[in-house]
Structure 1
Amino acid sequence: MDLGLAGAAVVVAGGGRGMGRAAARCFADDGARVAVLARTRRDLDETVDDLGRRGSPDPVGHQVDVRDDAQVAEVFADLRSRWGEVNVLVNAVGPDVRGTVEDLTDDQWRVAFEDGVLGIVHCVRAALPLLRKAGWARIVNFSASSTQRQTVSLAAYTAAKSMVTSLSKNLSLQLAADEIMVNVVSPGSVASDSLIAWARSVGVDTADPYALMSAITEHFGHPAHLPRAGLPEEIGPVVAFLASRRNSYMTGANINVDGGSDFT
């Protein structure tokens, strides 16, 4: 299926690794121009080289902390000069804060909200003039299925992700008149960097998605209908569709990509 992404101008915040990088690869495979925002220069360089090999005609990496509004504004000013417009903004940024409500410090709560919510606000605010200038535009934000099925050690993470879901719904209403569609992807137990790090700490073979799901079921009681964990490259195509011109009438939706669950 032609998603109509050839030549599109795409920004992926948090695209230096994991599910964000997987999404960026899908855009590059379809011939989109892709800008990746990340904090780590090594991740950026590796990703941009990969996107170029995959066919992105103008891949670019910006080392930026999206919690810093001035840095984000500078990035989008550069993209305005480079491309003039933006068709797609993907926000794959998120906090890596673990702990229960009683264990987390105020500083950890602030980090969770700044990483997981305020960074997205900065990117959306800076991108909107360029999205409105384009002939068509989409926003896709990453939430998490854990907002619907809680884990006590992820109190701040799930609170931040819940805010992302609510924010996205509000944006979908606000931007409907501009026909800018805003949707959410909520991955389940996907082999992200943080999940792999946890699995290693408990002695799980991280190369085996079936062993990974068994460990998740044992430790957290959160099995999926499918007997294995997901992979980042299984999230990317969902994001690419939601961000494409083929998605012509879906907005304000929260799409669970979780291997099957008992919630909608």
Structure 2
Amino acid sequence: MDLGLAGSTAVVTGGSKGMGLAIAETLATEGARVAVMARGQEALDAAVQVLRAAGAPDAIGISVDMADADSIAAGFAAVADWWGEVNSLVHTIGPGDGYFEDMGDDDWEAAFALGTMSGVRSIRAALPLLRAASWARIVTLSAHSIQRQNPRIVAYTASKAALSSVTKNLSKSLAKEGILVNCVCPGTIVTASFTENLRDILAADGLDATNPVDVMTWIDDNFHQPCDLGRAGLPEEIASITTYLASKRNGYVTGATVNVDGGSDFV
């Protein structure tokens, strides 16, 4: 299926690793010119090499602190200088997690700075570039925990719920301009950072943090949140639906909150 991305321009925030990099790589494979934004320059440089090998020879890595409004504005100003327009904005940034009793005001403010305001600021900075393009799409990544609560990630979930609400609202206000806006809610996804953070914890139960079936077994045992497919997901499975929603081929889906979680008990 031709997604109409050849020669288009795309920005992926948080695009240096995990789901963000998988999305950026899929966009590159489909022929888009891709800029990725993240804080760490080493990871950005590695991501750019991946994207160039995937089919985006002029891929760009931009060091941006997504908790800082001025840094976000400067990142998109650089994109404006290079391209002058953007067809696809995919925002994937998320905060850390923690239990309610362990989180003070500073922790909550940091969670909303990354989980919500980074999206607000990125979209605001990108809008002139999206409006300058012949077609434009916005996709944000929220989380299935906004509908399936987990006490371990209370502030993360609250910030992502706010982002989902902003996304839905923008789909209405931007529809008259032909800018389609959607939200993807990933379930449990086996990324490198997930594996690194939980390797020892799962190993203590005799489970492998790189194995999607073992990961879902651990999720079910500890949080009682299984999925119908019986396994965790992979970054490329988030990338495929996100790339479609961010593409010209998507001409009629807007305002959607799309669960990509292997099947769950909510709608």
Cross-structure match for 2:95: 95
Q: In structure 1, give the amino acid aligned to 2:29.
A: D
User: What letter is aligned with 2:239?
Assistant: G
Q: Would you say 1:251 and 2:254 are equivalent positions?
A: yes
Tell me the distance in 2 between the aligned counterparts of 1:224 and 1:73.
39
CA separation in 1, counterparts of 2:101 and 2:193?
22
| Aligned residues of 2:85 and 2:129 also touching (Cα < 8 A) | yes
User: Residue 61 of structure 1: SS of its match in structure 2?
Assistant: strand
Compared CA separation, residues 194 and 157, structure 1 to 2 (3 A): farther
Q: Deviations over 1:195-220 (max 9, x none)?
A: 32443131231221111111111011
Q: 1:84 to 1:44 in 2, by over 3 A?
A: same
Structure 1, unmatched stretches of 5+, are none
Instruction: Name the structure 2 match of 1:239.
Output: 242
Are residue 228 (structure 1) and residue 231 (structure 2) matched? yes
Task: Provide runs of 4+ in structure 1 moved above 4 Å.
Answer: none
CA contact (8 A) 1:97 1:108 kept: no
Task: Kindly indicate whether residue 37 of structure 2 is the aligned counterpart of residue 34 of structure 1.
Answer: no
Shift of residue 113, structure 1, vs aligned partner: 0.2
The alignment status of 1:190 with 2:193, answered yes or no, reads no
SS at match of 2:102: coil
Deviations 1:97-128 (A, max 9, x none): 222x2321111101100011111111101100
Which of 257, 261, 265 is equivalent to 1:262?
265
| CA distance in 2 between partners of 1:28 and 1:37 (Å) | 15
* SS of 1:138 mapped into structure 2: strand
- CA separation in 1, counterparts of 2:96 and 2:210? 22
The answer to whether the Cα contact below 8 Å between 1:32 and 1:57 also exists between their aligned partners in 2 is no
AA partner of residue 33 (structure 1): R
Rounded to whole Å, the distance in 2 between the matches of 1:225 and 1:32 is 34
Question: Does the 8 Å contact 1:199/1:205 carry over to 2?
Answer: no
Instruction: Name the structure 1 match of 2:72.
Output: 72
Distance 2:174 2:229 in 1: 36
Q: Between Structure 1 and Structure 2, how many residues are aligned?
A: 263
TM-score for both structures, normalised by structure 1: 0.97
Is 1:177 aligned with 2:176?
yes
Q: Report the CA distance between 1:84 and its aligned residue.
A: 1.1
Residue 173 of structure 1: how far off its partner (Å): 0.9
Whole-angstrom distance in 2 between the partners of 1:161 and 1:74? 24
1: CA distance, partners of 2:217 / 2:50: 32
- Report the CA distance between 1:193 and its aligned residue: 4.3
Give yes or no for contact 2:164–2:183 (8 Å, CA) kept in 1. Answer: yes
Report if the CA contact (8 A) 1:188-1:256 is conserved. Answer: yes
Aligned to 2:159: 160
2:219 aligned counterpart, secondary structure: helix
CA distances 1:62-113 after superposition (whole Å, capped 9, x unpaired): 01102211111111111111111000100000001222x2321111101100
Structure 1 match to 2:82: 82
**Normalising by the residue count of structure 2, what TM-score does the alignment of the two structures yield?**
0.96
The aligned runs of 1:137-152 (5 Å cut-off) are 137-152=136-151
8 A contact 1:5–1:244 mirrored in 2: yes
Aligned-partner Cα distance in 2 for 1:77–1:215:
44
Indicate if the aligned counterparts of 2:97 and 2:152 stay in contact, CA closer than 8 A: no
CA contact (8 A) 2:18 2:193 kept: no
Distance 2:160 2:195 in 1: 20
Whether the 8 Å contact between 1:96 and 1:194 is mirrored in structure 2 is no
Q: Give ranges in structure 2 of 5+ residues lacking alignment.
A: none
State how far apart, in whole Å, the 1-side matches of 2:76 and 2:230 are: 42
Task: Give the alignment of 1:38-53 within 5 angstroms.
Answer: 38-53=38-53
1:53-64 matches, cutoff 5 A: 53-64=53-64
Superposed CA deviations along residues 160-183 of structure 1, whole A, max 9, x for unmatched, are: 110011010111111111110000
Q: Which amino acid aligns with 1:86?
A: V
